[in-house]
Amino acid sequence: MRKNTRFAVWAASGLLALTSLTACADDAAATASAGGAKGDGKGTKVKIMVGGLDKVIYLPAMLTQRLGYFDAEGLDVELLSEPAGVQAETALVSGQVQGAVGFYDHTLDLQVKGKSVESVVQFSHAPGEVEIVSARAADDVTSPKDFRGRKLGITGLGSSTDFLTRYLAVKNGVGVSEFTPVAVGAGPTFISALRKGAIDAGMTTDPTVATILDKKAGTVLIDMRTPEGSREALGGPYPSSSLYMQTDWVNSHKDTVRKLARACVKTLNWMSTHSASEIADKMPADYSQGDKALYEEAVKSTLPMFTKDGVMPQGGPETVEKVLKAFNPTIKNAEVDLSRTYTTEFVEKAAG
């Protein structure tokens, strides 16, 4: 029965990824067929896939557009959305888009698979993720040691929430085969799974976290929305949300990447000098789902995860490598060249 359940989870996740990618394929066809964003200059078209545009952890992408910073750089940036970062990664490596906003850890995972991808702007130095336990399981799941035999929600198989869940389990003596990962996405689908008992606990971000706590549908088990929370759970800074791109594309479109980096760094700096309320006011109205105060609280809780300058935090790549090697046999037995997984060339010029 357990094998059948696991197979069903994998199959459902695969179908979701296929459906999502098919839906965005037509939208990206013009760029893909034309070979991507050709040329550097005013009006340069760039498509960026985000692993959930309404997630607060990826807020800088939409905020940069809303502040007009892409336009100011002469860039025509189209932001597309997928429910999980792993699907944004797939869209990038398949050539459907020129950039992806997702977790930095995908660059390491892709390198050992023979793909050269690098972070060009590091939005964060903490995961921004929270492990939530359902109200009904709160008395029984009090630490990752209790993951054994449990159904744990993640956005998608192969996603960063999947990676982090596996690490927390292994770190606390629970094998990756001793719990069942369930792909439930984020937002309403995650909350529904938690309330109906489809999952006992799960990893998610704001504004989903704020909604769950407001509805008293679950409690916080592990909070990684701050650098301090990251160090406690993972042993160091954990660079997560980033703008990453294929290295070949970066090298052949340096002026465009420089403009993208400058726009994003301006946004990070703007965020560091404005309140959660002011930031929330700039976002699309539907992101608050009818509760502006709750959305502002979600932004406020997540703000500590963001960098101010887009620079990779010192020691961050090493923490990510340690986490992945703890449970991923492919990476554990491979040599990872961390220097090829990110570049500070563009953000340092932007800061200057």
Mean pLDDT of 192-197: 96
Mean pLDDT of 228-251: 96
Query: What pLDDT is stored for residue 206 in this prediction?
Result: 95
Mean pLDDT of 139-157: 96
Sign, Cα dihedral of 225, 229, 231, 233: negative
Name the band, by pLDDT with cuts 50, 70 and 90, for residue 226. Answer: very high
Query: What pLDDT is stored for residue 42 in this prediction?
Result: 52
Q: Say whether pLDDT at 201 is over 60.
A: yes
Average pLDDT over the chain reads 88
Tell me which H or E stretch contains 81.
strand 75-81
Rounded Cα distance, 269 and 92, in Å: 27
CA dihedral 231, 223, 147, 199 (to 10 degrees): -150
Q: Say whether pLDDT at 221 is over 90.
A: yes
Lowest pLDDT segment from 271-275, 297-301, 330-334:
330-334
Q: Say whether pLDDT at 133 is over 50.
A: yes
Rounded Cα distance, 143 and 131, in Å: 10
Q: Say whether pLDDT at 25 is over 50.
A: no
Lowest pLDDT segment from 22-31, 89-98, 180-189:
22-31
Query: What pLDDT is stored for residue 159 in this prediction?
Result: 87
Name the band, by pLDDT with cuts 50, 70 and 90, for residue 85. Answer: low
What percentage of the chain reaches a pLDDT higher than 90? 80
Give the pLDDT confidence of 305-334 residue by residue, as tens digits.
Answer: 999 999 999 999 999 999 999 998 889 889
Who wins on pLDDT, 101 or 11?
101
Query: What pLDDT is stored for residue 310 in this prediction?
Result: 97
Mean pLDDT of 224-248: 96
Query: What pLDDT is stored for residue 87 in this prediction?
Result: 78
235: left (phi over 0), alpha (psi -120 to 50) or beta: left
Range of 7-21, 76-90, 184-198 with top mean pLDDT: 184-198
Name the band, by pLDDT with cuts 50, 70 and 90, for residue 12. Answer: very low
φ, ψ for residue 246 (rounded to 5)?
-70, 135
Q: Say whether pLDDT at 41 is over 70.
A: no
Mean pLDDT of 15-26: 38
Mean pLDDT of 141-145: 97
Query: What pLDDT is stored for residue 306 in this prediction?
Result: 98
Q: Which domains does the chain have, with CATH numbers?
A: 6-126+239-351 (3.40.190.10), 127-234 (3.40.190.10)
Name the band, by pLDDT with cuts 50, 70 and 90, for residue 89. Answer: confident
Q: Say whether pLDDT at 84 is over 70.
A: no
Name the band, by pLDDT with cuts 50, 70 and 90, for residue 26. Answer: very low
Mean pLDDT of 76-90: 84
* Gap between the terminal Cα atoms of the chain: 59
CB 51 within 8 A of CB 82: yes
Who wins on pLDDT, 268 or 330?
268
Mean pLDDT of 3-19: 40
- Give me the helices (H) in 197-328, please: 208-214, 227-234, 247-252, 254-272, 276-282, 292-302, 316-327
Q: Say whether pLDDT at 61 is over 70.
A: yes
Q: Say whether pLDDT at 1 is over 90.
A: no
Task: Identify the CA nearest to 36 among candidates 345, 253, 254.
Answer: 253
